[in-house]
């Protein structure tokens, strides 16, 4: 099992957390939604696997490149 870090591509605040630890996810699934510039920007996993950790909660500020979730894939 490889540890895969899923990063936010954009600076903003966490709008919604869509996945929880233990969830099975497929490539293209939305883990977290970031609000930035009045837009809801999905943070998507490119790899399938099982969510190990979600590192942010709603309303948290997020920087570009920040790891928001970890997946075992």
Partner 1 sequence: MAEACGGPDAVARHHASGKLTVRERITALLDPNTFREVGKLAGRASYDKNGVLTSFEPAPYVMGVGKIDGRPVAVGGEDYTIRAGTGFGSDRRKGGQGGFIEDLAYEFRIPLVNLIDGTGGTVNTTRRKGYTVVPGYGQDGCERSTDLLGIVPVVSAVMGTTAGGPSMRAILSHWSIMVKGTAQIFAAGPPVVQRAFGEKLTKEELGGTAIAVDTAGTIDNIAEDEADCLRQIRRFLSYMPQNVWELPPEQRCGDPVDRCEDALADIVPRSGRQAYNMKKLLELVVDTGSLFEIQPTYGRALITALARMDGRVVGVVANNPMFGGIMDYKAARKQGHFVELCDMFNIPLVFFADIPGLMVGAESEAAAILREGVRARYIGFQVTVPVFTVIVRKCYGVAGGGVIDRAGLNFKIAWPSGNWGSLPVEGGVKAAYRRDIESAEDPERREREIEEELRQLASPFRTAEAFAIEDLIDPRETRPYLCQFIEALQPRLRTQLGPKCKTGVRP
CB of 27 to partner 1, least distance (A): 14
- Can you read off the two tokens belonging to residue 31? 């883990």
Residue 58, interface with partner 1 (CB under 8 A)? no
Q: How far is CA 55 from CA 14, 32, 36, 38, in A?
A: 11, 10, 18, 22
Site membership for partner 1, residue 72 (CB under 8 A) = no
- Residue 38 binds partner 1 (CB under 8 A): yes
Q: Look at the chain and count its residues.
A: 73
4 binds partner 1 (CB under 8 A): no
- Contact between 9 and partner 1 by CB under 8 A: the answer reads yes
Size of the site for partner 1 (CB under 8 A): 14
């Amino acid at each position: 099992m490889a540890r895969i870090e899923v990063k936010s591509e954009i600076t903003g605040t966490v709008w919604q957390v869509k996945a929880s630890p233990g969830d099975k996810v497929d490539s293209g699934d939305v883990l977290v939604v970031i609000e930035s510039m009045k837009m809801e920007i999905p943070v998507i996993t490119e790899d399938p696997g099982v969510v190990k950790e979600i590192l942010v909660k709603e309303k948290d500020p997020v920087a570009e490149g920040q790891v928001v979730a970890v997946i075992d894939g």
